[in-house]
Structure 1
Amino acid sequence: MPHIADTHIVNRERVQPTHANNYESAHGGIVMKWMDEIGAMSAMRAAEETCVTAQMSRVDFERPIPIGDTALVESWAYATGRTSVRVRIEVSRENPRTGETEETTSAYATFVAVEDGTPVPVPELTVHGEKCKELRDRALAEEPERE
Protein backbone atom coordinates (compact mmCIF):
# COMPACT_ATOMS: atom_id res chain seq x y z
CA MET A 1 0.00 0.00 0.00
CA PRO A 2 1.28 3.46 -0.83
CA HIS A 3 2.16 5.92 1.93
CA ILE A 4 0.97 9.53 1.81
CA ALA A 5 4.61 10.67 1.61
CA ASP A 6 5.06 8.57 -1.56
CA THR A 7 2.55 10.85 -3.32
CA HIS A 8 4.20 14.15 -2.34
CA ILE A 9 5.40 16.02 -5.43
CA VAL A 10 6.97 19.47 -5.72
CA ASN A 11 7.38 21.01 -9.17
CA ARG A 12 8.66 24.38 -10.35
CA GLU A 13 7.55 26.40 -13.37
CA ARG A 14 9.24 29.68 -14.30
CA VAL A 15 6.55 32.23 -15.15
CA GLN A 16 7.29 33.47 -18.66
CA PRO A 17 5.54 36.22 -20.67
CA THR A 18 3.62 33.50 -22.56
CA HIS A 19 2.06 32.41 -19.23
CA ALA A 20 0.98 35.95 -18.30
CA ASN A 21 -2.26 37.90 -18.27
CA ASN A 22 -2.64 41.65 -18.93
CA TYR A 23 -1.28 42.38 -15.45
CA GLU A 24 2.12 40.74 -16.08
CA SER A 25 1.47 37.86 -13.72
CA ALA A 26 0.63 34.18 -14.27
CA HIS A 27 -2.78 33.68 -15.87
CA GLY A 28 -5.12 31.83 -13.50
CA GLY A 29 -5.92 29.20 -16.13
CA ILE A 30 -2.22 28.42 -16.56
CA VAL A 31 -1.78 28.05 -12.80
CA MET A 32 -4.81 25.72 -12.68
CA LYS A 33 -3.32 23.63 -15.52
CA TRP A 34 -0.10 23.20 -13.55
CA MET A 35 -2.11 22.32 -10.44
CA ASP A 36 -4.18 19.74 -12.32
CA GLU A 37 -1.11 18.10 -13.87
CA ILE A 38 0.87 17.81 -10.62
CA GLY A 39 -2.24 16.80 -8.67
CA ALA A 40 -2.88 13.99 -11.16
CA MET A 41 0.68 12.75 -10.69
CA SER A 42 0.13 12.52 -6.92
CA ALA A 43 -3.16 10.71 -7.49
CA MET A 44 -1.51 8.21 -9.84
CA ARG A 45 1.17 7.44 -7.26
CA ALA A 46 -1.57 6.75 -4.71
CA ALA A 47 -3.82 4.76 -7.06
CA GLU A 48 -1.03 2.97 -8.90
CA GLU A 49 -3.26 3.51 -11.95
CA THR A 50 -3.96 6.22 -14.51
CA CYS A 51 -6.17 8.91 -12.97
CA VAL A 52 -8.47 11.54 -14.42
CA THR A 53 -9.78 14.70 -12.78
CA ALA A 54 -13.26 14.30 -11.32
CA GLN A 55 -13.51 17.68 -9.60
CA MET A 56 -11.54 20.58 -8.25
CA SER A 57 -13.06 22.54 -5.41
CA ARG A 58 -12.32 25.71 -3.56
CA VAL A 59 -9.55 27.08 -5.75
CA ASP A 60 -8.31 30.12 -3.85
CA PHE A 61 -6.21 32.70 -5.71
CA GLU A 62 -4.73 34.75 -2.88
CA ARG A 63 -2.04 36.72 -4.73
CA PRO A 64 -0.38 36.85 -8.18
CA ILE A 65 2.82 35.26 -9.40
CA PRO A 66 4.74 37.91 -11.39
CA ILE A 67 6.59 37.20 -14.62
CA GLY A 68 10.12 36.09 -13.72
CA ASP A 69 9.14 34.44 -10.45
CA THR A 70 8.86 30.68 -10.10
CA ALA A 71 5.55 28.92 -9.44
CA LEU A 72 6.23 26.26 -6.82
CA VAL A 73 3.45 23.65 -7.19
CA GLU A 74 3.13 21.12 -4.36
CA SER A 75 0.62 18.26 -4.19
CA TRP A 76 -0.06 15.10 -2.24
CA ALA A 77 -2.81 12.54 -1.88
CA TYR A 78 -4.28 12.41 1.61
CA ALA A 79 -7.33 10.13 1.34
CA THR A 80 -8.86 7.51 -0.93
CA GLY A 81 -12.32 6.21 -1.66
CA ARG A 82 -13.25 3.07 -3.56
CA THR A 83 -12.03 4.40 -6.93
CA SER A 84 -11.10 7.97 -6.02
CA VAL A 85 -8.12 9.83 -4.60
CA ARG A 86 -8.36 13.16 -2.79
CA VAL A 87 -5.42 15.50 -3.34
CA ARG A 88 -4.31 18.77 -1.73
CA ILE A 89 -2.57 21.23 -4.05
CA GLU A 90 -0.72 24.35 -2.92
CA VAL A 91 1.11 26.92 -5.03
CA SER A 92 3.67 29.48 -3.89
CA ARG A 93 5.61 32.12 -5.72
CA GLU A 94 9.35 31.78 -5.33
CA ASN A 95 11.91 34.47 -5.95
CA PRO A 96 14.52 32.66 -8.11
CA ARG A 97 17.37 34.80 -6.75
CA THR A 98 16.67 34.56 -3.03
CA GLY A 99 14.51 31.43 -2.69
CA GLU A 100 11.98 33.46 -0.66
CA THR A 101 8.46 32.02 -1.01
CA GLU A 102 4.91 33.25 -0.47
CA GLU A 103 1.69 31.22 -0.79
CA THR A 104 -0.46 32.23 -3.76
CA THR A 105 -3.03 29.57 -4.64
CA SER A 106 -4.54 26.42 -3.15
CA ALA A 107 -7.17 23.82 -4.01
CA TYR A 108 -8.58 20.41 -3.28
CA ALA A 109 -9.12 17.95 -6.11
CA THR A 110 -10.59 14.50 -6.55
CA PHE A 111 -9.23 12.14 -9.18
CA VAL A 112 -10.66 8.81 -10.29
CA ALA A 113 -8.50 5.81 -11.20
CA VAL A 114 -9.43 4.39 -14.60
CA GLU A 115 -8.49 1.54 -16.86
CA ASP A 116 -9.83 1.67 -20.42
CA GLY A 117 -12.12 4.50 -19.31
CA THR A 118 -13.72 2.49 -16.50
CA PRO A 119 -13.22 3.36 -12.81
CA VAL A 120 -11.09 0.83 -10.95
CA PRO A 121 -10.44 0.31 -7.21
CA VAL A 122 -7.52 2.05 -5.55
CA PRO A 123 -5.44 0.87 -2.58
CA GLU A 124 -5.85 2.47 0.80
CA LEU A 125 -3.31 5.17 1.64
CA THR A 126 -1.31 4.58 4.77
CA VAL A 127 0.14 7.02 7.27
CA HIS A 128 3.66 5.92 8.07
CA GLY A 129 5.85 8.31 10.01
CA GLU A 130 5.83 12.00 10.82
CA LYS A 131 5.95 13.29 7.22
CA CYS A 132 2.80 11.34 6.31
CA LYS A 133 1.00 12.55 9.41
CA GLU A 134 2.03 16.18 8.82
CA LEU A 135 0.86 16.10 5.16
CA ARG A 136 -2.46 14.45 6.05
CA ASP A 137 -3.10 16.90 8.89
CA ARG A 138 -2.25 19.89 6.65
CA ALA A 139 -4.78 18.71 4.06
CA LEU A 140 -7.52 17.90 6.53
CA ALA A 141 -7.14 21.22 8.37
CA GLU A 142 -8.85 23.17 5.58
CA GLU A 143 -10.67 20.45 3.66
CA PRO A 144 -14.05 21.71 2.43
CA GLU A 145 -17.27 19.96 3.49
CA ARG A 146 -18.02 16.96 1.29
CA GLU A 147 -21.53 16.26 0.08
Structure 2
Amino acid sequence: MTDLMETLVENREMVQPNHANMLETAHGGNVMKWMDEVGAMSAMRFSGENCVTARVNRMNFERPIAVGDTAFITAYVYDAGTSSVKVRLVTEREDLRTREREQTTESYFVYVAIDEDNEPTSVPELTVSSEEGEQRRTLALEGENGDS
Protein backbone atom coordinates (compact mmCIF):
# COMPACT_ATOMS: atom_id res chain seq x y z
CA MET A 1 0.00 0.00 0.00
CA THR A 2 1.15 3.50 -0.79
CA ASP A 3 -0.04 6.62 1.00
CA LEU A 4 -1.41 9.54 -1.00
CA MET A 5 1.15 11.97 0.44
CA GLU A 6 3.99 9.72 -0.78
CA THR A 7 2.79 10.32 -4.36
CA LEU A 8 3.03 14.11 -4.13
CA VAL A 9 5.37 15.49 -6.82
CA GLU A 10 6.08 19.19 -7.38
CA ASN A 11 8.17 20.52 -10.26
CA ARG A 12 8.94 23.82 -11.96
CA GLU A 13 9.49 24.70 -15.60
CA MET A 14 10.86 28.11 -16.55
CA VAL A 15 8.83 29.50 -19.46
CA GLN A 16 11.35 30.44 -22.14
CA PRO A 17 10.65 32.16 -25.48
CA ASN A 18 10.82 28.79 -27.28
CA HIS A 19 7.89 27.56 -25.10
CA ALA A 20 5.72 30.55 -26.01
CA ASN A 21 2.98 31.29 -28.49
CA MET A 22 2.62 34.55 -30.43
CA LEU A 23 1.22 36.23 -27.29
CA GLU A 24 4.50 35.56 -25.42
CA THR A 25 2.83 33.17 -22.99
CA ALA A 26 3.34 29.45 -22.52
CA HIS A 27 1.85 27.42 -25.35
CA GLY A 28 -0.92 25.20 -23.98
CA GLY A 29 0.70 22.13 -25.54
CA ASN A 30 3.87 22.73 -23.56
CA VAL A 31 1.93 23.13 -20.32
CA MET A 32 0.07 19.89 -21.04
CA LYS A 33 3.36 18.07 -21.75
CA TRP A 34 4.89 19.30 -18.50
CA MET A 35 1.79 18.24 -16.58
CA ASP A 36 1.83 14.81 -18.22
CA GLU A 37 5.47 14.26 -17.24
CA VAL A 38 4.92 15.28 -13.60
CA GLY A 39 1.72 13.22 -13.44
CA ALA A 40 3.57 10.15 -14.73
CA MET A 41 6.22 10.65 -12.02
CA SER A 42 3.48 10.64 -9.38
CA ALA A 43 1.82 7.54 -10.87
CA MET A 44 5.16 5.69 -11.02
CA ARG A 45 6.02 6.70 -7.46
CA PHE A 46 2.66 5.23 -6.39
CA SER A 47 2.72 2.03 -8.43
CA GLY A 48 6.40 1.17 -8.51
CA GLU A 49 5.94 0.49 -12.23
CA ASN A 50 6.32 2.35 -15.51
CA CYS A 51 3.08 4.14 -16.35
CA VAL A 52 1.59 5.36 -19.61
CA THR A 53 -1.05 8.03 -20.13
CA ALA A 54 -4.47 6.55 -20.82
CA ARG A 55 -6.78 9.55 -20.49
CA VAL A 56 -6.90 13.25 -19.83
CA ASN A 57 -10.09 14.51 -18.19
CA ARG A 58 -10.97 18.18 -18.63
CA MET A 59 -7.91 20.33 -19.25
CA ASN A 60 -8.94 23.73 -17.88
CA PHE A 61 -6.70 26.64 -18.91
CA GLU A 62 -7.75 29.48 -16.62
CA ARG A 63 -5.02 32.08 -17.24
CA PRO A 64 -1.71 32.38 -19.11
CA ILE A 65 1.86 31.97 -17.90
CA ALA A 66 4.15 34.71 -19.22
CA VAL A 67 7.63 34.18 -20.59
CA GLY A 68 10.00 34.59 -17.63
CA ASP A 69 7.59 33.14 -15.09
CA THR A 70 7.68 29.52 -14.00
CA ALA A 71 5.03 26.87 -14.30
CA PHE A 72 4.79 25.29 -10.81
CA ILE A 73 3.16 21.88 -11.24
CA THR A 74 1.73 19.78 -8.43
CA ALA A 75 0.58 16.17 -8.91
CA TYR A 76 -0.69 13.45 -6.60
CA VAL A 77 -2.53 10.16 -6.88
CA TYR A 78 -6.06 10.34 -5.49
CA ASP A 79 -7.55 7.03 -6.65
CA ALA A 80 -6.53 3.73 -8.23
CA GLY A 81 -8.12 0.72 -9.88
CA THR A 82 -6.65 -2.65 -10.80
CA SER A 83 -3.97 -1.23 -13.12
CA SER A 84 -5.14 2.38 -13.46
CA VAL A 85 -3.90 5.36 -11.47
CA LYS A 86 -5.80 8.67 -11.22
CA VAL A 87 -3.69 11.78 -10.73
CA ARG A 88 -4.83 15.34 -10.00
CA LEU A 89 -2.63 18.01 -11.58
CA VAL A 90 -2.57 21.73 -10.86
CA THR A 91 -0.30 24.26 -12.53
CA GLU A 92 0.34 27.67 -11.05
CA ARG A 93 2.07 30.68 -12.55
CA GLU A 94 4.91 31.64 -10.24
CA ASP A 95 6.93 34.86 -10.22
CA LEU A 96 10.23 33.78 -8.69
CA ARG A 97 11.12 37.33 -7.64
CA THR A 98 7.98 37.91 -5.58
CA ARG A 99 7.05 34.24 -4.96
CA GLU A 100 3.52 35.16 -6.03
CA ARG A 101 1.52 32.22 -7.38
CA GLU A 102 -1.87 31.85 -9.02
CA GLN A 103 -3.53 28.78 -10.48
CA THR A 104 -3.49 28.65 -14.28
CA THR A 105 -4.40 25.09 -15.22
CA GLU A 106 -6.10 22.07 -13.68
CA SER A 107 -6.65 18.54 -14.95
CA TYR A 108 -7.14 14.92 -14.00
CA PHE A 109 -5.04 12.30 -15.80
CA VAL A 110 -5.42 8.53 -15.79
CA TYR A 111 -2.30 6.40 -16.20
CA VAL A 112 -1.97 2.64 -16.60
CA ALA A 113 0.85 0.74 -14.92
CA ILE A 114 2.68 -1.57 -17.33
CA ASP A 115 5.11 -4.44 -16.86
CA GLU A 116 8.32 -5.21 -18.78
CA ASP A 117 6.21 -6.60 -21.67
CA ASN A 118 4.24 -3.33 -21.85
CA GLU A 119 1.13 -5.09 -20.57
CA PRO A 120 -1.11 -3.66 -17.85
CA THR A 121 -0.06 -4.75 -14.38
CA SER A 122 -1.64 -4.43 -10.97
CA VAL A 123 -1.09 -1.46 -8.68
CA PRO A 124 -1.19 -1.30 -4.88
CA GLU A 125 -4.06 0.01 -2.81
CA LEU A 126 -3.99 3.74 -2.09
CA THR A 127 -4.07 4.69 1.56
CA VAL A 128 -4.76 8.08 3.11
CA SER A 129 -3.37 8.52 6.61
CA SER A 130 -3.32 12.27 7.20
CA GLU A 131 -5.76 15.15 7.30
CA GLU A 132 -3.92 16.86 4.43
CA GLY A 133 -4.17 13.67 2.38
CA GLU A 134 -7.91 13.42 3.07
CA GLN A 135 -8.40 17.05 2.03
CA ARG A 136 -6.44 16.51 -1.19
CA ARG A 137 -8.38 13.34 -2.02
CA THR A 138 -11.76 15.00 -1.35
CA LEU A 139 -10.79 18.01 -3.47
CA ALA A 140 -9.71 15.76 -6.34
CA LEU A 141 -12.83 13.58 -6.24
CA GLU A 142 -15.08 16.66 -6.22
CA GLY A 143 -13.11 18.27 -9.06
CA GLU A 144 -13.06 15.09 -11.14
CA ASN A 145 -16.84 15.05 -10.98
CA GLY A 146 -17.10 18.74 -11.88
CA ASP A 147 -18.10 19.86 -8.40
CA SER A 148 -15.18 22.25 -7.80
TM-score range, shorter chain: over 0.9
2:89 is aligned with 1:81: no
CA drift at 1:45: 1.1
CA shift at 1:133, angstroms? 0.9
- The equivalent residue for 1:48 is 48
TM-score for both structures, normalised by structure 2: 0.95
Contact 1:42 / 1:75 at 8 angstroms: preserved in 2?
yes
- Tell me by how many angstroms 1:141 deviates: 1.9
Query: What's the % identity of the aligned pairs?
Result: 52
5+ residue gaps in structure 1? none
State the distance in 1 between where 2:57 and 2:22 align. 26
Q: Which runs of 4+ in 1 moved over 4 A?
A: none
Match of 2:98 in 1: 98
Q: Structure 2 CA distance, aligned partners of 1:141 and 1:120?
A: 27
1:57 is matched with which residue? 57
Displacement, 1:131?
A: 2.1
On the 8 A contact 1:60/1:105 being kept in 2, the answer is yes
Distance 1:81 1:141 in 2: 18
Structure-1 residue corresponding to 2:72 = 72
Q: Secondary structure at the match of 1:21?
A: coil
Name the structure 1 match of 2:128. Answer: 127
Q: Give the total of aligned pairs.
A: 145
- Amino acid across the alignment from 2:69: D
Q: Which residue of 1 aligns with 2:142?
A: 141
Amino acid at match of 1:23: L
Mapped partners of 2:24, 2:73: distance in 1: 19
- Aligned residues of 1:58 and 1:144 also touching (Cα < 8 A): no
Q: Cα RMSD over matched residues?
A: 0.9
Q: For 1:48, give the aligned amino acid.
A: G
Taking the aligned partners of 1:25 and 1:56, their CA distance within structure 2 comes to 22
TM-score with structure 1 length normalisation?
Answer: 0.96
Distance 1:96 1:129 in 2: 30
Counterpart Cα distance in 2 of 1:8 and 1:67: 26
Per-residue Cα deviation, 1:54-110 (whole angstroms, up to 9, x for no partner): 000100001000000110000000000000000000000001100000100010010
- Whichever residue aligns with residue 139 of structure 2, its letter is R
Q: Is the 8 A contact 1:5 1:135 kept in 2?
A: no
**Which amino acid in the other structure matches residue 90 of structure 1?**
V
Give the drift of 1:47. 1.0
SS in 2 for 1:119: coil
